[in-house]
Every structure is written in C-alpha cells, then in structure tokens.
Amino acid sequence: MSSWGLKNRLARIIKPQTGRTVMLAVDHGYFLGPTSGLEKPGETIEPLVQFADCLMLTRGVLRSSVDTAVDVPIVLRVSGGTSILKELSNEGRFTAIEDAIRLNASGLALSIFVGAEGERETLLNLAALVDEGEKYGIPVLAVTAVGKEMARDTRYLGLCCRIAAELGVHLVKTYYCENFEKIVNSCPVPVVIAGGKKVPEMEALQLAFNAVRDGASGVDMGRNIFQSEAPVAMIQAVRSVVHERATPEQAYDLYESLKNGS
C-alpha cells in the first residue's frame, strides 16, 4: 500500500520548509462546552486562520464555523463522549473515518489517558484509529493525558508519548515540562506541545521557545492564543518563535507592535 497520501497530509500539517508547525487548537468545547474565547467559534477562528498552519477541531465546529473556501489543513478530533462533569478518561470515538474523509481531514486526533481509568480503552481506540488512518492515508495525532494524581513530568508524559508512538501514531501532542528533551529523544515521532491554561503572553512565548529549543516540532496551542488580549498579534508572535527562531523577547516585541498597530 502506498504511503504517499499519508506523507503528503503530514507535510500539510508539519511544514517541510521549517519542519515545524503552528496548530491552532479550538476543540475545547468537546468536553468543556462554551469555553471562554470560543463562545462563537466562527468569530474566533476567522481572523486567526490565515496565520495557522492547521486547525485542530471537531466536525461540529468545522461544519458550522469554518468557511469551506478556507485553505487550511484540518486535524479532526475524533475522540470524546465525556464532559468535565464526569470521568474524563472514559473517552470513545465519535467520528467515523468516512466522515473524516468527507470533511477532507489531513489528520485525526484522539486522546489517550495513561494511568487513568480509561487507559486500556483509549489506547486500543488509538491503535484501531491508526489502522484506519493507515488504510486511507491519514496521519494520527495522539493527545496525551496522564492520570489526575500523576505529575506532568518526563516520567509520565514520556511514558505516554512513547506508548502512543509504539502503537503507531504519526504525531504526538503533550505538555512541556522540565527536561523535555528526554521526552523528544525517547519518542520516535514528532512531538508538539499544548499551550495549557492562559498565562501572560511573555510566558506563553517563552514556553513555545523552550519547547522548540528542546526538540518539539511546534505547538498545538489554543487558550494562550484565543484568550489573549490580542489573539491575531499573539498567533503571529508564536509563529515567529516556531518558524523564524525568534527569541521570546523578539516575539514579545512583535506581539506588542502588532497589538498597538505600529
């Protein structure tokens, strides 16, 4: 079976020019409901999409809130089925591969919960999704989460990333932590980081800088972009770190000047 399609889709997500990506994550509603900054997803996405290398979102938001003429690769979240009111790790699949193909997805994203109640189920769901992705040439991104009582450190996040890679994924998303390079070095597929909770812009730019410095292939960032005081300025500042190797200080200067329209 030819892997040309899969590689081509992956190259739409991770830009070959730099080997990196700025993914815009706007999938939070699938378990959080109307997240702050994403109450009207279409209005949030519209000004940002031109600066995103790809969008990570659910089919519901894609269909309802993204213009079909927009030329942006889609990484479609296909796992969920739980809410913040219940045990989050009990996720299942909510989108069939046929629908992902109809939606022209460039990638599929599924969460795994290592060390949590849903560990086995989510890992086996991931493996099944990789089989389907391989069949149709669509790469799979594993979104890694660890049990509530586990530290987000190299031991647990590293375990999670490596397991995802062993199950066959093409890309892993995890959190940045101390000694992050250990995670990257023990994970044989590209790693991108989530931004996490909103922090001041300079801190978020420092996080992105540290991650790519330590070997990440980019970011899959949500709240630190769309909850920023100036989201359009912020995504461009993040891009400068990821693709142009700007320092956090240079990127922050860019953020300030774009925000102030100078």
What is the nearest approach in angstroms of ligand 5RP to the Cβ of residue 31?
Answer: 7
What is the nearest approach in angstroms of ligand 5RP to the Cβ of residue 143?
Answer: 4
Is the Cβ of residue 56 or residue 187 nearer to ligand 5RP in the bound state? 56
Is the Cβ of residue 137 or residue 202 nearer to ligand 5RP in the bound state? 202
Closest CA to 160 of 186, 138, 133: 186
Kindly state whether residue 52 participates in binding ligand 5RP, applying the rule CB under 6 A: no
Of the residues 7, 173, 197, 198, only one is catalytic, namely 173
Instruction: For residue 187, give both structure tokens.
Output: 């994970």
- Please identify which residue in 73, 139, 190, 195 interacts with ligand 5RP, judged by CB under 6 A: 195
Q: What are the CA-CA distances from residue 134 to residues 110, 116, 129, 131, 219 (Å)?
A: 15, 27, 8, 5, 24
Span 98-157, contacts to ligand 5RP by CB under 6 A: 111, 143
173 is catalytic: yes
How far apart are the C-alpha atoms of 213 and 236, rounded to whole Å?
18
What is the nearest approach in angstroms of ligand 5RP to the Cβ of residue 129?
Answer: 15
Sign of CA dihedral 182, 183, 187, 192: negative
Kindly state whether residue 41 participates in binding ligand 5RP, applying the rule CB under 6 A: no
Instruction: For residue 96, give both structure tokens.
Output: 């069939």
Closest CA to 242 of 74, 54, 72, 38: 54
How far apart are the C-alpha atoms of 95 and 40, rounded to whole Å?
22
- Please identify which residue in 38, 52, 220, 231 interacts with ligand 5RP, judged by CB under 6 A: 220
What is the nearest approach in angstroms of ligand 5RP to the Cβ of residue 59?
Answer: 15
Instruction: For residue 30, give both structure tokens.
Output: 């699938």
Q: Which residues of this protein are in contact with ligand 5RP, per CB under 6 A?
A: 25, 27-28, 56, 111, 143, 194-196, 220-224
